Chain A
Amino acid sequence: MEGRTTMKAQPADHPLNGLLRTERIPHIWCPGCGIGTAFSACLTALLNSGMDLTKTAMVSGIGCSGRAAGYVKLDSYHTTHGRAIPFATGMKLARPELNVVVFSGDGDLFAIGGNHFIHGARRNVDLTVVCVNNFNYGMTGGQCSATTPREAQVESGFLNRLEAPLDICRVAAAAGAGFAARVSGYDPLLSERMQQAIRHDGFALVDIWGICPGRYGKRNPISPGSINAALDRLPDLTDTLAANARDEYGRAYREEAAKLVAPAPPALIEARFPPPQGGRREILLLGSAGQRIITAGEILCLAAATAGLHATQKNDYPITVMRGHSVSEVVCSDRPIDYTGIDRPNLVVALAQEGVARKAGIFRELGPDTVILKARDVSLPDTSGTILELDFKALGIRSQDRALAALGELADRRLVLTRDMLGAALQLRFSGRLLDAALKQLEAGGNSPAVVG
């Protein structure tokens, strides 16, 4: 009756002693606690599994059951509350050769760690999760947990009567686990069930219904018979679990990762062209979603790099990308750039009303030194900046092509960049059909001078 072995008063030659930190015995568990039975059944299962136990780790969370990691003579980790599964997931992914067993309680695994449990089952990492389910938080005084029956009397008053207890095996099955077994802590085949879970290649749960004599059991009569009767009332999950069979996550991950092609090393941009101006230039690109404002900012920075300039780009847009303003702030300088902000830009490109509205406050500050290249259909707040106007509609330039056309106009006027710099930047930024299209658009736009407003 290996499942019945308790840890109290063990003889020196107990067959499980090799797996115990005997110097830590006596343990803290109460006499009659179901954890001892589950723990010794787990150790027996590990011993009988034939696995290399130096390559086997136990991970626990917090709570009475969480202390198991402290007594087992394996690599053992007593982690933060609710986080045993993510810890174990990381360990298994980093060291796939390890066998990783999570041993913890219902409060830790399913209340505080419930989210991690669901995603562990969903991912199907090869973990064996052993849960001692004793229907309450024993260590903190017997409060209700996620599995407390509604009719139970616990130390947190009426709260458990208001909440439906989780059938954690059904949760596991719904979340995608391929193995989930409900088993009574009194079941003589407890250790065999754990061995099956250990052998399962993927996420496996053993939900052990046991007694907490110090807390829950005091006010809630519980017996092997009542546990069996309760277990019998729960729906069978065989078909759902079988339908969840699939690749183990870590192996599938490594296979997919092996297929990836390493990205090309970052481009080394050589200084090939003289910049049209020296010193620091601040450029503000104002547009709306879909106008490729941020791409234009990137092209501007790349163009600056082809002239040996330093450049910074900082963008501003709503969290979503298909509505609202799109603003790019670009600084180019022949010296390293310290301050990256733009307070009085040398150049403003205003292509849509949304972007202008976002930076409305800045126009008042501008003097005639600032060139504002604006679309004819955009209106500006009062400003003393020098305005150039482009009638994109009359030129047949689509909204999404305005930004690139504006860069072409700036290049023609040798403001911040030149045609050479722009062409080289497009070569760096685009390739294939996109590059052809960009170059073609630039050629077409070359004969469309802006009007001084």
Chain B
Amino acid sequence: LGAQADMMQARWGSHGHYEIIALAPASPQELFHLTITAFNLSETYRLPVLVMADEVVGHLSERVVIPPAAAVKTRERVPASGRRDRYKPFQRGACGVAPMAAAGAGYAVHVSGLTHDERGYPDMSAAGQEKMMTWLTEKIRANRDKIIQTESYRLDDAEIAIVSYGISARSSLAAVDEARAAGIRAGLLRLVTVWPFPEELIRDLAGRVRALVTVELNLGQIHLEVERCARGQAPAILVGHAGGAVIPPEEIVARLSAVSRT
């Protein structure tokens, strides 16, 4: 069944405190491009990146233009360099990311899931934990403006802003046009990057509109993030259901219409 109910699982599905990157393609074409983007982000920031194709995007057949391989831009991790006896595999470099030694490159790296220091050695102390968790979160938080991609549609003069992603954003796109035709000034903020969450963008938007309507195929996940970031400046409203069918534009328009009358 098609749903978008794993948004929080993607964000917090592992143990410990960390930041993650998750992308939500809305079409097979975008699924192609965002998969490349995901690898590039993963290589840049040295962390797993999730490509969250919902069931509909995953099973949809649609025109896809595959560019020649030479036209695809790829990024590779910064490799370890310099003296082997001085290399520390988790010594943060540019963007807060440590250059990475490949196995067999002669650096004798140690990688562990335990809380570790710059050498990769266990440091099971509160101070060690604080330091490592700060590394893991800061390398993403400090670079979120570079990471986050969103798309705006008819948002400049919008009174009601829809926030949506993946297949639901396509229903929302249709709903914006239908609502505008009915005299409702609606606009759409489509999240291409879902995590890290575009907090400032939502906060600014909340200060400019009468309501924020989140459209997603679940019972309220990103909706709660939108509500959090709106900080009470505008009401956050959910258009969602548990999954199994795409949300029809009429359902969104009906809600926009109800909101515009209040």
- A residues apposed to B, CB below 8 Å: 21, 24, 54-55, 57, 62, 69-70, 73-80, 91, 95, 97-98, 265-266, 269, 297-298, 301, 305, 310-315, 337-341, 343
Q: How large is the interface on B (under 10, 10 to 19, 20 to 34, 35 or more residues)?
A: 35 or more
Say yes or no: A339-B111 contact (C-beta < 8 A), given A91-B103, A313-B62: no
A339 touches B104 (CB 8 A): no
B86 to chain A, nearest CB (A): 14
CA distance A312 to B104 in the complex (A): 47
CA distance A297 to B62 in the complex (A): 11
B48 at interface (Cβ–Cβ under 8 A)?
no
CA distance A266 to B112 in the complex (A): 43
B108 touches A73 (CB 8 A): yes
A314 touches B56 (CB 8 A): yes
A78 touches B110 (CB 8 A): yes
By a CB distance below 8 angstroms, the chain B residues around A343 are: 248, 250
By a CB distance below 8 angstroms, the chain B residues around A55 are: 104
CA distance A313 to B171 in the complex (A): 16
CA distance A95 to B105 in the complex (A): 11
B:77-135 near A, CB below 8 Å: 101-114, 121-122
A338 touches B103 (CB 8 A): no
B255 at interface (Cβ–Cβ under 8 A)?
no
B154 to chain A, nearest CB (A): 13
Say yes or no: A301-B61 contact (C-beta < 8 A), given A314-B56, A339-B170: yes
B104 touches A95 (CB 8 A): yes
A109 to chain B, nearest CB (A): 17
CA distance A103 to B109 in the complex (A): 16
Say yes or no: A310-B63 contact (C-beta < 8 A), given A21-B110, A77-B111: yes
B173 at interface (Cβ–Cβ under 8 A)?
yes
Q: Nearest CB to that of B110 among chain A residues? A: A76
B245 at interface (Cβ–Cβ under 8 A)?
yes
B:21-64 near A, CB below 8 Å: 56, 59-64
By a CB distance below 8 angstroms, the chain A residues around B101 are: 75
By a CB distance below 8 angstroms, the chain A residues around B107 are: 75
A340 touches B246 (CB 8 A): yes
Q: DSSP majority for the B interface?
A: loop
A305 touches B63 (CB 8 A): yes
- A91, A97, A312: the one within 8 Å of B60 (CB): A312
CA distance A72 to B53 in the complex (A): 41
CA distance A98 to B106 in the complex (A): 12
B174 at interface (Cβ–Cβ under 8 A)?
yes
Known A-B contacts: A54-B104, A57-B104. Give 8 more (CB < 8 A).
A21-B121, A54-B106, A69-B110, A76-B109, A77-B111, A78-B113, A311-B63, A313-B61
Say yes or no: A340-B109 contact (C-beta < 8 A), given A75-B104, A91-B103, A310-B63: no
CA distance A337 to B104 in the complex (A): 49
The 3 closest A-B pairs by CB, nearest first: A78-B112, A313-B61, A338-B173
B72 at interface (Cβ–Cβ under 8 A)?
no
By a CB distance below 8 angstroms, the chain A residues around B248 are: 339, 341, 343
Q: Nearest CB to that of A304 among chain B residues? A: B63
Q: Nearest CB to that of A24 among chain B residues? A: B121
CA distance A97 to B246 in the complex (A): 49
B83 to chain A, nearest CB (A): 15
By a CB distance below 8 angstroms, the chain B residues around A312 are: 60-62
Mind listing 17 A-B residue pairs with CB under 8 Å? A21-B121, A55-B104, A73-B108, A75-B104, A75-B107, A77-B112, A95-B102, A97-B104, A98-B104, A266-B66, A310-B63, A312-B61, A314-B56, A339-B171, A340-B170, A341-B171, A341-B246
Q: Nearest CB to that of B246 among chain A residues? A: A341
A338 touches B61 (CB 8 A): no
Q: Which of A62, A76, A311, A341 lies at the interface centre, i.e. has the most chain B CB atoms within 10 A of its CB?
A: A341
- B59, B108, B171, B246: the one within 8 Å of A75 (CB): B108
CA distance A312 to B62 in the complex (A): 5
Q: Nearest CB to that of B89 among chain A residues? A: A75
By a CB distance below 8 angstroms, the chain B residues around A266 are: 64, 66
CA distance A42 to B248 in the complex (A): 63
Q: Nearest CB to that of A56 among chain B residues? A: B104
By a CB distance below 8 angstroms, the chain B residues around A73 are: 108
By a CB distance below 8 angstroms, the chain A residues around B246 are: 339-341
By a CB distance below 8 angstroms, the chain B residues around A76 are: 108-111
By a CB distance below 8 angstroms, the chain B residues around A54 are: 104-106, 108
A341 touches B110 (CB 8 A): no
Say yes or no: A75-B103 contact (C-beta < 8 A), given A70-B121, A339-B171, A341-B171: yes
B89 to chain A, nearest CB (A): 10
B59 touches A315 (CB 8 A): yes
The contact string, 1 if C-beta is below 8 Å from chain A, for chain B 237-248, is 000000001101
Say yes or no: A314-B63 contact (C-beta < 8 A), given A70-B112, A338-B170: no
CA distance A315 to B170 in the complex (A): 18
B220 at interface (Cβ–Cβ under 8 A)?
no
By a CB distance below 8 angstroms, the chain A residues around B122 are: 70
Q: Which of A79, A337, A339 lies at the interface centre, i.e. has the most chain B CB atoms within 10 A of its CB?
A: A339
